[in-house]
């Protein structure tokens, strides 16, 4: 084996591990916030399913996204900023999330994105949603059989690594299905994707800004109080899991997402 080839393979393994560790860095705070919210709503162990599904969807959109994820995020941030500046107590957290999602759906239906973006990003979002829900279901079942709640760091190490490998393994199938069904069905999913990103971005901004402007985050203050303590170790677990996933994906020569 030539030394130049060995150096190239080592560099690619390092690069992919680094990229996926950054994905874990983005995934961790979003997942922890969503998990706290759904547990506060009474989902108990099952909170892993929607939290992992939504965090995985957002990660997939940002990882392969282009315009769709950016537009959805900008809509959510803009709507929430206006609400927070004007009358934050009128709509509250869930009203603001709903308004941002509706605005995202309307604008997403009106805007026509480039063909490549339309065909691939919604399919990647569905792939992320599916693998995230599957991994969240595994975590929910395992935790229900365990005497104690799982720690955030170990949960994220598992979710980011296993979810990342499943996502890369299945995303090409979703992309091919979207291409085969044509632009019409893809445009419908695109509207959902923009609405979802707008709602997630709006909700995240609200929860982050609520303490600064002295308003209650819809009864979530107690549920979110542990995030500051859990976040450092959780981020470490997510970064470690992401790096492991990236190393394994490149070592076993999985295709890169942009090649699918």
pLDDT digits (tens, 9 = 90+) for 150-199: 888 899 999 999 998 999 899 888 888 876 665 556 677 778 888 988 88
CA gap 6, 13 in Å, rounded: 11
pLDDT digits (tens, 9 = 90+) for 137-164: 999 999 999 888 888 889 999 999 999 8
Neighbour-count burial of 6, counting CB atoms closer than 10 A to its CB (0-12 exposed, 13-18 middle, 19+ buried): exposed
Number of domains in the chain: 1
pLDDT of residue 157: 92
pLDDT of residue 114: 66
Residues 41-47 have a mean pLDDT of 90
Residues 24-53 have a mean pLDDT of 88
pLDDT of residue 142: 94
- Whole domain around residue 98: which residue ranges? 3-259
Inter-residue contact 201 to 76 (CB < 8 Å): yes
pLDDT digits (tens, 9 = 90+) for 9-36: 888 899 888 888 877 877 888 888 888 8
Say which residues have a Cβ less than 8 Å from residue 215's Cβ, sequence separation at least 6: 88, 89
pLDDT of residue 257: 62
pLDDT digits (tens, 9 = 90+) for 224-238: 666 667 778 888 898
Residue 247 has pLDDT above 60, yes or no: yes
The position carrying tokens 């997510």 is: 238
Sorting pLDDT into bands at 50, 70 and 90, what band is 136? very high
Sorting pLDDT into bands at 50, 70 and 90, what band is 70? confident
Share of the chain above pLDDT 70, in %: 82
């Amino acid at each position: 084996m030539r030394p130049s080839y060995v150096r190239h393979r080592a560099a690619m393994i390092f690069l992919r591990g680094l990229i996926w560790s950054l994905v874990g860095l983005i995934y961790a705070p979003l997942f922890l916030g969503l998990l706290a919210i759904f547990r506060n709503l009474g989902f108990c162990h099952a909170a892993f399913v929607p939290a992992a599904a939504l965090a995985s969807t957002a990660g997939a959109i940002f990882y392969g996204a282009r315009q769709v994820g950016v537009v959805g995020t900008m809509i959510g941030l803009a709507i929430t900023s206006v609400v927070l500046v004007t009358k934050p107590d009128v709509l509250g957290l869930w009203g603001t999330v709903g308004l941002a999602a509706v605005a995202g759906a309307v604008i997403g239906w009106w805007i026509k994105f480039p063909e490549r973006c339309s065909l691939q990003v919604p399919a990647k979002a569905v792939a992320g949603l599916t693998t995230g829900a599957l991994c969240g279901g595994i975590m929910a079942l395992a935790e229900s059989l365990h005497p104690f709640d799982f720690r955030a760091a170990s949960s994220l190490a598992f979710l980011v690594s296993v979810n990342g490998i499943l996502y890369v393994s299945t995303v090409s199938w979703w992309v091919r299905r979207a291409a085969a069904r044509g632009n019409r069905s893809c445009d419908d999913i695109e509207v959902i994707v923009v609405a979802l990103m707008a709602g997630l971005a709006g909700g995240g901004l609200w929860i982050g800004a609520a303490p600064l402007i002295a308003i209650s985050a819809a009864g979530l203050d107690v549920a979110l109080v542990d995030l500051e303590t859990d976040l450092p170790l959780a981020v470490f677990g997510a970064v470690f899991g992401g790096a492991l996933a990236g190393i394994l994906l490149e070592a076993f020569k999985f295709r890169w997402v942009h090649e699918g």
